[in-house]
Amino acid sequence: MTGVLEATRRIAVLDGHRLSDRAVDRIARAATTLVLLSTDALFDATERFRAVVPGLAIEDGGLVRGDVREAIVSAAERGCVLLAVPEPLRRRRFLHLAVNGAIDAADRGHPTVAVIVMRPHEVPGDVAVLSNTGEASGWGLAFALEIAMRRGVSVARVLPKKGLYVRRAAEVGHRADVEAGGYGVKVRRRKVARPLETVLRGQYGVAVHSVLDVIGRRSTRAGDGAPARIQHDANVDAVLWLLRFFRGDVVLVGDTVRLRERRGAAAPPATP
């Protein structure tokens, strides 16, 4: 059986020309192969990454229509479970499209895709993997452990004190936990009243959060493939807060994301 954690892995990158030099360095050193996707044919980031790792294998993933939704599906179909992107200009729109991309990928048989939003700077500190609701993913823990392994730091699992703790793909998280122990990665488990607030106020370099089944609906008047409107959802809202206030890189883990309907009137979306 192959391992869950990889010292370097196949990584897709969207618009690498928009990344800072420090972000390019972090991605290049974590990759065995890069698949470069772009929204603009005028830019090619190949030489930027090869300047960091001269022998790095780089593939041209082609053009996407201009949003992260298509990039997630393209990354998954090219064998990548991790997509690196620059900081979004419009956070809410980005997150809406990213969640739709995770739904599209799951519908096409690619259950797990993680998106890492690369900050232009590098923030020192451990990797925090959190669940604000008690729902989480074993893949979320796996990505947190893998990033910590590469950076030589520890992982903080931040969970709510109250509520039922449910983890999808729990066997993946267990295997990753065992493998990480072999690499000497330390894991600290914290139960707190407000996990999101704890991470935002803490000294962490990376925050990892799962997005599981989301509340939303597709318009009956829209054509096939139209994005779903995502309504108020605690996991989605938590990622939105991380994108706005967390200083380090943010990892959004889509694990077999499915769309579900809310009975009755939908609550208004949170506005961080």
Q: What CATH number is attached to the domain comprising 38? A: 3.40.50
Give the C-alpha separation, 142 to 234, whole Å: 22
- Which residues face 113 on adjacent strands? 254
Q: Is residue 149 part of a domain?
A: yes
Q: Is residue 245 part of a domain?
A: yes
Domain span at 179: 9-259
Give the C-alpha separation, 195 to 193, whole Å: 6
Name the strand (E) or helix (H) holding 76.
Answer: helix 68-77
Q: What pLDDT score does 269 carry?
A: 44
pTM over 0.75: yes
Other CB atoms closer than 10 Å to residue 217's CB: what's the count?
14
Q: Is residue 270 part of a domain?
A: no
The parts of the chain modelled with pLDDT lower than 50 are 1, 264-271
Q: Is residue 221 part of a domain?
A: yes
Sequence-separated (6 or more) residues with CB below 8 Å from residue 27:
11, 13, 16, 19, 34, 49, 84, 118
Q: Is residue 267 part of a domain?
A: no
User: 57-91 pLDDT, tens per residue?
Assistant: 999 999 998 689 999 999 999 999 999 999 999 99
Q: Are 180 and 5 in contact (CB under 8 A)?
A: yes
Give the C-alpha separation, 250 to 115, whole Å: 8
Q: Is residue 1 part of a domain?
A: no
> What is the distance between the terminal CA atoms of the chain, rounded to a whole angstrom?
43
Rounded (10°) CA dihedral 142, 147, 152, 158: -60
Number of domains the chain is built from: 1
Alpha-carbon distance values, 150 to 63, 189, 191, 213 (Å): 30, 20, 26, 30
Give which of 74, 52, 56, 53 is closest to 65, Cα–Cα.
74
Q: What pLDDT score does 188 carry?
A: 95
Q: Are 36 and 45 in contact (CB under 8 A)?
A: yes
- Which residues face 229 on adjacent strands? 217
Give the C-alpha separation, 40 to 65, whole Å: 9
Alpha-carbon 140 to chain mean position: 8
Give the C-alpha separation, 243 to 104, whole Å: 22
Q: Is residue 244 part of a domain?
A: yes
Q: Is residue 266 part of a domain?
A: no
Give which of 50, 56, 64, 81 is closest to 14, Cα–Cα.
64
- 3 state SS of 233: coil
Q: What are phi and psi of 236, to 5 degrees?
A: -65, -45
Q: What are phi and psi of 182, to 5 degrees?
A: -65, -30
**Token digits of residue 270:** 């949170």
Name the strand (E) or helix (H) holding 83.
Answer: strand 82-86
